[in-house]
Amino acid sequence: MSPTENDTNAPNYGFETLAVHAGARPDPTTGARSTPIFQSNAFVFQDAEHAAELFNLQTFGFIYSRLTNPTVSVLEERVCALENGRAAVACATGHAAQFLLAATLLEAGDEFVASKNLYGGSITQFGLSFAKLGWTCHFADMTDADALRAVMNHKIKFIFCEALANPGGVVLDLEALAGVARDWGVPLVVDNTLATPYLCRPFDWGADIVVHSATKYIGGHGNTMGGVVAESGKFDWYQNDKFPCMTQPDPAYHGLTFAETFGDFGFSMRLRAVTLRDYGPTLSAQSAWNLLQGVETLPLRMERHCANAQVIAEFLDSHPKIAWVSYAGLTSSPYHALARKYLPKGAGAVFTFGVKGGFAAGETVVNAVEIFSHLANVGDTRSLIIHPASTTHRQLTPEQQDAAGAGPDVIRLSIGIESVADLIADLEQALART
């Protein structure tokens, strides 16, 4: 195991300093200043006793890269510091992060509740694939904490939401949701992919666990997949009997109890030493390195992403061929007040709008753009566009498309960091063809 928990004795550095430095130090043997790619499956033990201690989780260190790798550890510490958390585990994708979270906390027959406003892939993973493992997901309207309270029951082991959700620019009241989680003695888990810790730190508002698709803004360049699970270290696993995984002795580690032995980073230890070890969706050292390159500029990129998105949302909002724009940065958005509270530095850079002329007009726009790329991704330096009704949501009925915020006229943008005047000119010429 490696010491991937946040060093609580570190000076109180600013976000931009942490984005460049947290978790990294010059390589002690070579002096290399940039974090090396430790392209090694396994790591030599000092002697038999050291090996035994590592296998018993009695000391920190590296054994085998399915569990820990020095390059991956730097990324884990980096994201953990940016989220102001206690410990973090990186893995192969955002979906792997969600799987590791659920597989750590849930037994077959357990339940959890997720926001209705979720990344489409998460709705499928939770609603269909998790059901095959005996885990039941209830979907609730989390724009209303009372609607969440109404679906809670004693089998529910966690509450899952996106603070800033796509499609639709929905911003949730994290403090209110954290209150429900506290009342029921379960962790609030926030998928912080679209906000990133630069815009919002869910732990500061009472969340207990954060998951990321590092594929998006953390890496930020549309070239590497990755995921992260981070914990605040503040959740009390002993407050009820819902979490035997944390509070009961583990036979795989000679009766070790994770919450007792590791205290405020016990969840991350369990997620790594049992779930990641046994299911294996590990992040490669090369991918960790790519993501580290990206995360150094997270604050700079997010600033530009948000500034560009705000200008483009305002441009579209006043365009005669646009029916509506759903962006929490617009004063007309029902989520504007929540965005000002939880996302004071900007409302993110992924949003939807409706083009007059429906399905055909939507197809025309995505065919006509030149700088925007027509593809299914978000959080790239490049500006991206997609018409969900003719692509990602094509298989759904018109009623299902509407419910998912993917009606025939809906276009989703992920605004990049290019010159905003060029992006506006591109959209202008595309809209002129509708």
Ligand X SMILES: *Cc1c(COP(=O)(O)O)cnc(C)c1O
Residues that bind ligand X (CB under 6 A): 93-95, 119, 121-122, 162, 191, 193-194, 213, 215-216, 225, 227, 378
Considering the complex, what minimum distance in angstroms separates the CB of residue 246 from ligand X? 25
- Closer of 213 and 308 to ligand X (Cβ): 213
DSSP letter (8 states) at residue 273 = I
Tokens of 14: 């600013």
Nearer to ligand X, 177 or 225 (CB): 225
Distance, in Å, from the CA atom of 205 to the CA atom of 209, rounded to the nearest integer, reads: 11
- In whole angstroms, how close is the CB of 319 to ligand X at the nearest point? 27
Closer by beta carbon to ligand X, 189 or else 194: 194
| Residue 142: CB minimum distance to ligand X, A | 14
- Residue 111 dihedral angles phi and psi, to the nearest 5°: -135, 160
Minimum distance, C-beta of residue 251 to ligand X, in the bound complex (Å) = 31
Record the tokens describing residue 294, joined without a space: 């990206």
Cβ 414 vs Cβ 383: under 8 Å: yes
Of the pair 62, 372, the CB lying nearest ligand X is at: 372
Task: In angstroms, give the least distance from the CB of 318 to ligand X.
Answer: 28
End-to-end CA distance of the chain: 57
What is the SS3 assignment for 424?
helix
Closer residue to ligand X in complex, CB, 377/419 = 377
Q: What whole-number distance in Å separates Cα of residue 267 and Cα of residue 45? A: 26
Which H helix or E strand runs over 191? strand 188-191
What stretches of 356-432 adopt beta strand conformation (E)? 373-374, 384-386, 410-414
Residue of minimal Cβ distance to ligand X: 94
Q: Measured from the CB atom, is 233 or 294 closer to ligand X?
A: 294
42 forms beta bridges with 64
Question: Whole-number minimum distance, CB 387 to ligand X, in Å?
Answer: 18
Say if residues 208 and 179 touch (Cβ distance below 8 Å): no
Give bridge partners of residue 209 from the DSSP assignment: 189, 231
Rounded Cα–Cα distance for residues 173 and 205 (Å): 9
Minimum CB separation from ligand X for residue 378, in Å? 6
Min dist CB 360 to ligand X, Å, is: 28
> Which is closer to ligand X, CB of 194 or CB of 288?
194
Q: Which two tokens stand for residue 354?
A: 């409706």
Whole-number Å distance between alpha carbons of 406 and 399: 10
Residue with tokens 């299902």: 400
| Minimum distance, C-beta of residue 157 to ligand X, in the bound complex (Å) | 20
Cα(323)–Cα(409) distance, integer angstroms: 9
Query: Residue 87 CB, nearest distance to ligand X (Å)?
Result: 21
215/284 with CB nearer ligand X: 215
Helix, strand or coil for residue 156?
Answer: strand
Which positions ≥6 away from 301 have C-beta within 8 Å? 217, 220, 381, 417
Place of tokens 């959700």: 165
Half-sphere exposure of residue 405, counting CA atoms within 13 Å on the CB side?
19
CB 211 within 8 A of CB 93: no
- What minimum distance in Å lies between the beta carbon of 95 and ligand X? 4
Q: Is 158 exposed, middle or buried (0-12, 13-18, 19+ CB in 10 A)?
A: buried
Is the CB of 162 or the CB of 231 nearer to ligand X?
A: 162
- Which of these, 102, 112, 27, lies nearest to 71 by C-alpha position? 27
